[in-house]
Amino acid sequence: EEEALIHSEKLSVAGQMAAGIAHEIRNPLTSLIGFSKFLKTKIDKYHEYFDIMLVELDRINSIVQEFMALAKPQACQFRKHDLNRIIGNVLTLLETQAILKDVQIIPKLDSDATELLCDENQLKQVFVNVLKNAIEAMPSGGIITITLTNVDAQQIAVSIIDEGTGIPEDQLPKLGGPFFTTKDSGTGLGLMICYRIIEGHQGKMDIRSVPGIGTTVSIRLPRNL
Ligand code: ADP
Ligand code: MG
């Protein structure tokens, strides 16, 4: 038990360091991106090199942003929120992206008593990450169902079901490990952040998947921590 405690403390120090370094990288990165864009408009040659630079800078930017989202514990703000509204906001945010990919997101929300104690921004981040993965897993479109269920007076469940490529069985244990990605422009940080946020809410997240059929992400959250 003591070992487990030490391990989790180490993780949180590492997480805080990562967030700190990410913060320091952000400002110089912003000026590199800005000046690269500016120079591209001023110089008539080498556009393909500028484009490569911008794509790579954008990749660094995504990694930095995701690391900054590894919230430090003291930055958490737990309040009562309506989970229906949080999910509704996230769906509005992702609507355009989904339509462009021919993906339809069907919410099955439960209107009764969906209040829970949570950090709103952190939970939004979880749903954005999971839904983005679902969209990215359906290159030729399809349906995503997001269902909210009142399990009982203590717990709320959310499941996100897609009809995407699915995940091969041997990759399931790697999910949530830092930098595990199968995508050309992925960071492999999205699920790690989700697991960490859900743990911080004393909840649980499971991923089940059948290659060729789709993936289900199930999240359980206690109403009160
Ligand atoms: P990223 O999206 O940057 O690759 P994530 O941590 O969000 O990083 O996801 C890690 C990997 O898990 C993805 O590269 C993909 O292989 C797999 N994955 C996650 N969600 C899904 C999904 N809904 N369908 C298929 N594969 C998924
Ligand atoms: Mg992702």
pLDDT one-digit tens code per residue, 139-159: 999 999 999 999 999 999 999
Ligand nearest to the CA of 173: 1
- For position 14, what pLDDT does the model report? 67
Whether the CB-CB separation of 76 and 119 falls below 8 Å is answered with yes
Pocket lining: 164 vs ligand 1, CB cutoff 6 Å: yes
- For position 19, what pLDDT does the model report? 75
- For position 72, what pLDDT does the model report? 53
**Which of 103, 94, 91, 108 lies closest to 147 in space, CA to CA?**
108
Rg (CA), the chain: 19
> Rounded to whole angstroms, how far apart are CA atoms 146 and 95?
14
Residue 99: both structure tokens together: 């339509």
Atom 16 in ligand 1: which residue has the minimum CA distance?
Answer: 182
- Chain-centre distance for alpha carbon 86: 15
> How many Å lie between the centroid of ligand 2 and the Cα of residue 170?
18
pTM of structure: 0.81
> How many Å lie between the centroid of ligand 1 and the Cα of residue 40?
33
Q: What angle do CA 133, 137, 138 make, to 5 degrees?
A: 125
Which segments of the chain have a pLDDT < 50?
Answer: 1-10, 74
